[in-house]
Structure 1
C-alpha cells in the first residue's frame, strides 16, 4: 500500500480522509511525517498549485510550539501534498465525542494554546480561516497541563485560503464550516484575523457547553443566526470568563480581542477556573426541536485520549453524523432579506439540566396541555354555577341534588 510522494517521502498508511484530501502516515529523510495529499481535482487546478507555491515560504516559516509545522510542499505531476509534523494522540473533536464537554480549566487551557498559535500566525500575516475542533490536535506524548489537558496544536494553516480562490468559487459563495463562521464572512466581507478569534470563541463555548452557540439545523439557518442572534450566556462559569467569550463573539470584528490579548487573558484565567467541574447544563436536542421526542441519552464512551495512541488524522474523517462540520463546505451567501428574516427560537440555548427550552416543540406541547387544563377547570366551574342557579330557581326547599356537569364541560378528560 506504500506509495512514493515526490523523491523524498513515502506514504505508508492512511490516517484519515477529509473534504480536502487524505492524510497518510509517511517517512522522509528526517523520520516520520504526516502527508496531506490533496484531492486530484485540487491538484489538477493550476491556479491552486501556483497559489500553494507562492504561499510555501510563509507556511514553512510558521514555526511555533502550538502550530503543526509544514515541513515541505510536494508538487509531482498530478500530486500536490503538504508534508507536516506528525502528532500522536487525538484531535479535539474526537475528545468531545467521548466526553461531550470539558471541565472549565481544561477547556480554557486548550483555548489558550490555540490562541498562542493564532497570535504567531497573525503576526506572520497568516489567517487560519477554519479554526474548529477537527483542526486542533492533542499531543498525547507530551506532559499534560492545567486541568489535565494535553498540549493543543493548531493545524491546516493556509488550506482554506488556498482552496478558496477566485477560480474555484463564485462571488456568491463562501467556504468554511457553518458553526464557526464569523458574521462578516456570512455577509460577504473578506476574512481578517478577527474571524479566527470568533471561531476560537465558538470552540471554547462548545468545549464548555457541549454544543456551539448558533449551531443546529440547516446550514442556512446556522449562517443566519451568526448575523442576527445574540449568544446565550453560559451559567456556572466565572463572569470574567463569560465576558471574554461574549466579547470575542461580538458581531463587529473591531470589538473582538486580538489573538495575543486573548491568549494572555485566558492564561490569567486558569487559576480562577481550577477545580470547577464540567457545566451541568443541557440543551434541547434537534429531534425535539423538530417535534420528535429525544431518545435516551447514549452512555458515554470510555475515555482513552490521555494514553499515547495512533497518529492524529490531520483532517476529519467526514463520515460523522453532522455533515455541516466538514471542512470547506461551499455555501451560497444568504441575501439581505434572508438574513433579516432571522431564525429565532431554533438556536440551542443552555439551560439547567432537565428544563424545557422555550420555543421547542415539547415546550409548546406542554404549554398547550396546561392551557387546555385551565379551560377545562374554568368550564367545570361555569357548569357548576349554572347548575346551582337552576337548582335554586326550582327548589321548593326540599333536599335535592346537583345535576352532573354539562356535556360541554366534562368533569374529567
Structure 2
C-alpha cells in the first residue's frame, strides 16, 4: 500500500498542474490581474501606515471607463472636502484627458475641476472652464451659477447679473433677490458721480425683487441728497410692506426728510402711528422721545417714555430715560447710567437669521454664511440682559 501511495502522489500532482494550466489559459487576463504586484505594493504602504502613498497606488490601478468614473469623482470630491485640492485636480484632469469618456461624463468632470479651482482660489482658471461649459450646445446648469459666484467674489456686478439671468428658470425665485442686490451694488458705485444711473440701477433692483429693502433705503438716501424729501418719504413708505424688521434702518432717513421739510410735528405723528403698529420697535420709541423733548421739554419726554417702558421695557429705553433725568439729584443714577450704557454698547445691533452671525454694523452680504439680505436689525430688550452682562469687555 505504501508503494502504491508513493506512486500515486506524483500522478496527482501532475494532473493538478495540468488542470491548473488549462484553467489559467482560459482566463489569462484574470490571472494576471489577480497577482498584480502593485496591489501588494499598495497594501504594504497601508501596513506601514503610509495611506497617502497607498491611495496614489490604488488610483493608478483604477482603470478609467464608464463603470469607474463615479468612483473617480467620489474619490476626488473626498479629497476636495479634505482640502487636498491638488489631488482632486489631478484626478479630474486625468478623467477629462481620457478619450473613452462620453460627453455627459466629461462635462461633469469639467464642472468638478472648476469647483476644485474655486476651492483653491484659482478663480481665473475656474472662470475659463465654466465659460467653456457655457458655450456648449447644451450648457451645464452649474456653469452660470458658478460664474455668478466667481463674479460676486471679484465684485464684477454687471457680469454677475448677466450670469444670474442665465440660471435655470426653475430657480428664478432664488436668484432674483441676488440680482437685486447686485444692482444695488452698482447703484452705490454710481451714487457720487451719476445719480441718474444710480436711480436706474435701483429701478432694476426693485423690478427683480419688489421686497428689496436695500433699494428703497438707497432711493431715499439719493432723494435726500438732492433735497427731495417728499420722494424720499415715498420710498421709505415701502419698507414697512417689504420687511418691517428693517424699519429701524429707515428712521434716520425719516428724521432727515422731515427736517428738510421743517415739519417735526408730522414726524411725531408718524412715529406714534408706527409704534402703535409695531409696539416692540424700541428705536422708534427713542426717536419719538427726542422729538417730544425738542418740541416740548425733557420732562414731557421723560414722562412719555416712563409710561411706555412699563408696557415695553428695553435696555436702550431705560438708558435714554436715565439720561433725560436730573442725574445730580439721585446718587445712584450715574452708576445705573454707566451700566446701561455699557450694555447698550456691548449689544449686537444686527443678526443673521440664517447662520446667527451678529455684529454692530449692517452687512447686506452676511460675513458668516455669504447670504444676501439675511442680516436683520435687532432691538435690545431686557430678555438679553443676562447674556450682555456675562459677555467679556
TM beyond 0.5? no
The TM-score normalised by the length of structure 1 is: 0.20
TM-score by length of 2: 0.21
Q: Larger % of strand: which?
A: 1
Q: Relative contact order, CA 8 A, sep 6+: which one is greater?
A: 1
Decide which structure has greater helix share. Answer: 2
Q: Max radius of gyration: which structure?
A: 2
